[in-house]
Amino acid sequence: MIAIALLWLVILLFKSGFALKMLRLPRRECALSSGDVTVMQPILGGDPALASVLQSNLHHLPDAHFLWLVDDDDDQGWRVTQDLQQRNPHCAITLLRYPPAPQGQNPKLFKLEQARAQVKTDWVMVLDDDATLSAASLHRMLSELDAASLVTALPYYCAAQTLPSRLLAQFVNDNAALTYLPLLPFTRPLTLNGMCYVLHRAVLERVGGFTSIMHHLTDDLALASLLAREKVNIVQSTASVQVQTSVPDFRRYSRQMHRWFLFATLLMREKSVPVNLAIFLLQGLHPLLLWSMLILALSGDAVDAAIMTGVLVIRHLVLRRVQREVSTHISSHPLLSLLSELLQPLHLLHALVNHTIYWRSRRYRIFSNDRFISR
């Protein structure tokens, strides 16, 4: 038990120590503003929070140029975006409608590539329709940007009132900083956060836009690989982006977690053995060690129970320290946090045996990152 606890503690302190180091780096000044940025947002109706999230971005970034990309058959998404455009005449909003993506093409990238010609500003941001970016976070991202790089944000979740929503938010809030940040002092980012990133329009044009990765389902991983081949630097910012997705029941929660873990396995397929070993040691081993200690504590003596109690206290304090550095809006739910970590091996097993995912209103059978069937 002691040996397991010590190994668990070393991993936790390594991840949290370097994550906190990155979160506390001094911030640069920047002369750019939201008026220099075009925000491209692929829209998909159906989420009850869609209107409020889009309105929040209009409030935080009133000078930005917004391109809202809606599917032809998405009547609900079209109604929401039209209503917001009419209620915000002072904002630069352009509504664009597109037919459904052809079979085997990524719907998000399909719309982004067609809308790329509408971008007139030097800087372009891709922002998911469930993500809210503050002016301070945009300013920090722009301060870390140059004409030959892409800057990606650090996500945290704002949970709805349902238990599945809080459990999903807990997974992201416990793991985002400890996943994206600890290896940055040693290597370039392994991928990028596709929920929110910004780059120079000329960089996007130089790599051919999104055309060459249109047949990849995991757009963030595909774009990261494309930029690496083209020698474009990816900068993982500590600027936070708030994500808010309604998860009404555990079935929807399970589908979301299944999708994320399946995408993680696709990432690992493209990485080398040393990189996969690092991913396992820093991300995959920790929940297994926690399971081992919990089983020993429940079946052992008072000493094992005391060690387990100490582990849980340290875990809570360290996670809260990191979360407060990311955002003061992240709330504390210790029991949900523990449950979320213990469920991770089950989510991974599910992703390994089931390659069919549900992505909002669509269903995909995945064979590889660049080979999938929409049903």
Query: Same structural domain for residues 121 and 162?
Result: yes
> Minimal CA–CA distance to 153: which of 203, 197, 112, 119?
197
The token pair at 146 is 């140059």
344: in domain: yes
Query: Same structural domain for residues 46 and 146?
Result: yes
pLDDT for the residue 106: 87
Q: Which of 218, 250, 282 is the last residue of a domain?
A: 250
> Minimal CA–CA distance to 149: which of 127, 187, 123?
123
Query: Same structural domain for residues 158 and 301?
Result: no
**SS3 per-residue string spanning 286-342:** HHHHHHHHHHHHHHCCHHHHHHHHHHHHHHHHHHHHHHHHHCCCCCCCHHHHHHHHH
CATH of residue 70: 3.90.550.10
Query: How many distinct structural domains can be found in the chain?
Result: 2
Query: Same structural domain for residues 95 and 136?
Result: yes
Query: Same structural domain for residues 201 and 322?
Result: no
26: in domain: no
Q: What is the pairing mode between strands 149-157 and 131-132?
A: unpaired
Query: Same structural domain for residues 69 and 199?
Result: yes
Q: Say if CB 265 and CB 347 are below 8 A apart.
A: no
113: in domain: yes
What letter does residue 187 receive in the DSSP assignment? S
pLDDT for the residue 361: 66
Residues 6+ apart with CB under 8 A from 306: none
Query: Same structural domain for residues 140 and 204?
Result: yes
Q: Running along the chain, 375 residues long, what does each successive block of 10 average in pLDDT? A: 92 96 88 87 89 95 96 92 95 94 86 94 95 94 91 91 91 95 91 92 93 88 90 94 88 92 88 89 93 89 88 96 94 94 96 84 77 73
370: in domain: yes
Q: Say if CB 198 and CB 145 are below 8 A apart.
A: yes
Q: Which residue has the tokens 């409020």?
A: 52
What letter does residue 180 receive in the DSSP assignment? H
List the domain range (segments joined by +) for residue 108: 36-250
Which H or E run includes 252?
A: helix 250-269
Q: Say if CB 235 and CB 324 are below 8 A apart.
A: no
The DSSP code sequence of 80-146 is HHHHHHHH-TTSEEEEEEEPPPPTTS-HHHHHHHHHGGG--SSEEEEE-TTEE--HHHHHHHHHT--
**Residue 27: what are its φ and ψ, rounded to 5°?**
-95, 145
Q: How far apart are CA 6 and CA 371, in angstroms?
A: 42
pTM: 0.92
Query: Same structural domain for residues 49 and 192?
Result: yes
Query: Same structural domain for residues 242 and 281?
Result: no
Q: Which of 198, 217, 250 is the last residue of a domain?
A: 250
